[in-house]
Structures are given as structure tokens and as C-alpha cells.
Amino acid sequence: MVFPEYRPRRMRRNETLRALIRETRLSPDQLILPLFVMPGKGKREEVGSMPGVYRMSVDQLGREAQDCLAAGVKSMILFGLPEKKDPMGSGAHARDGIVQRAIRELKNRAPEITVVTDVCLCEYTDHGHCGCLIGDRVDNDTTLELLAKTALSHAQAGADIVAPSDMMDGRVAEIRATLDEHDLSMVPIMSYAVKYASAFYGPFRDAADCAPQFGDRRSYQMDPANSREALREATLDVEEGADILMVKPAVAYLDIIARLHDEFDLPIAAYHVSGEYAMIKAAAQKGWIDEKRVMAETLLSIRRAGADIILTYFAKEMGRLLLNA
């Protein structure tokens, strides 16, 4: 194809033509809204580093769910802020824990919402690491049983999908076996299969109060320099029984999303993380960018790279924009 016989601009002349040949589309159905659930009643506190994102008490979730549904968003992922923390993160799997109560509230108030739960210990341990410690080291194998107990407690409370984010070796197999043993074989696992040790998580750790009290998480989260390792991690999770593979963060790792999309036939999720969200919000507040257009372009790029599902704090805003397009 050469000019002047082929003129690409012919198909860009107006919006109708552009829409007719559009290769990538976003839908509110593909979005998951992360929520931070806190103790108390009647509480709704904005996260300082994440404008428009709130920590909220369980009794506020029904209203939040209705707002989501009105925007066409039908899925949420829950993160809990417990009243107490301890070295083993026992609040993560407590029958009446914060996430377990949140699941039951959502299932009671908005049963059409798909409830996803984050399975990790970092919000519940007093040291802020994602597993049990032996000395100053996170012990992989001891942690597996607690992660499985946590996933089980979420599923028994009514969670539709459990999503382990800890990056311990073997946790998908442990969780799958535990769920199956308790007649919960139909509960899918959305594995944080490729989770990098990223600087983009800062605002989340502010929101969830889960920054490590010493050291960092580079001994279990992945090195940002590595891409072949991402394929090895994802392959392990596929073999252990994962139903969905997630990449986190998203924008800085579009190449990884694309590689997983090409390599595996499972659905691919991508987490547009707190730092990625906060940068757009901060620049928009300064008047440097058009927030809605940058939001839409960013999420479209994640979808174009190969993500079937996008976890984003922009879910409601993007949903409303899509419904009103």
C-alpha cells in the first residue's frame, strides 16, 4: 500500500468512520473498583494521596455498590483495614474480620455485584510484610497455610473470586486445594501472577496502612528489570490452577501484559495502581492535562496491550464516561 492509492486519512474523516473501524473498545463490564474497608460506622474518609478515593466503613458499602452499578461497574475488590494487627496477621482469616463482614454486607445489599477479595497478610501484620516472619525473613511455606485459610474464609463469607497478592511460591496450589476440599471448587482464583516491587504503590500503602516496618518486599515481589521471569511466574500459577492472571502495575508494564496475553489462553487482568492514578489526578489538579481524556487514553492502552480486566480507582468515572459516550 502506497500513497496516493492508499490514504489512511479517508477512514478518519469523521467519528462515525473512526468508530466503525475502532480496534480496541472499553466497557464498564471490564472494570473492577478497589475499595478500602475500615472499622466503625458511618465513616467515609478521603485518602489524602488519592483524591476521590475513600476508606469507608462496612455500612457505607451498599451506597457505594449502587453508585458502581449506576456507572455500569459490576465488580469490586476489597482491601481490609483491621482494628488490630499481630505478627501472624490473624485478622485476615477471622470469621468476623473486616473483609468477611464487608463481603456479607455487599452480598446482602447488592447481590448482583461480583465481589473479589485481596488475599494477603500485609494489612493485618504488625510488621507490614506479606507473610510470617522467621527473624527478619518472610517464611514462604509457613505463610501458605495462612493464605489458604484467608482465601477459604473469604469464599465461605460469599466472595465470588479470591485474588492472592502476596507473591509467595506455591500459594495458588495451596489455595486451590483448600477451596476444593471445602466444596468451593467453583470459586475462581485471580492470581497476582506478575507483581513487581514497584515504586508506584506508595499511595496504596498510605490508604491501607500497610507499609513494611523494616526492609522492603523485593525478596518476594519481582524485579522491574525482568520480563522472562514474568512468564515463569505466570506458568507456575497456570499449572497450580489459577483462573485469571494479573499483572501489577499496569502502565509501566504494558509489554508484560502483551507477553502474557500472547503466551497464555487465560484471561489477563491488569491493576492500574495507586501511583498511576495519583499522578493523573495531581497533574489534572495543576491544570496540566485533561483528566478525562488522559484517564480514558491510559485505560484504553492497558486494554489494547491485552488486558481483559482492569482494576482501577477510575472505574466509576470511566464507567460513567463510557455510558454517556
Catalytic residue, from 74, 85, 149, 195: name it: 195
Give catalytic status of residue 85 as yes or no. Answer: no
Cα–Cα dist 319/325, whole Å: 10
> Could you tell me what percentage of the chain is helix, strand and coil, using 3-state DSSP and rounding each to the nearest 5?
45, 20, 35
Catalytic residue, from 248, 281, 292, 316: name it: 248
Q: Decide: helix, strand or coil at residue 249.
A: coil
Q: Is the peptide bond before 39 cis (omega within 30 degrees of 0)?
A: no
- Cell numbers at residue 263, please? 503466551
H-helix or E-strand spanning residue 38: strand 31-38
Cα–Cα dist 306/250, whole Å: 11
Q: Rounded to an integer, what is the distance from CA 262 to the centroid of its chain?
A: 21
Cα–Cα dist 270/195, whole Å: 10
Cα–Cα dist 194/93, whole Å: 24
Give catalytic status of residue 248 as yes or no. Answer: yes
Catalytic positions, written as ranges: 195, 248
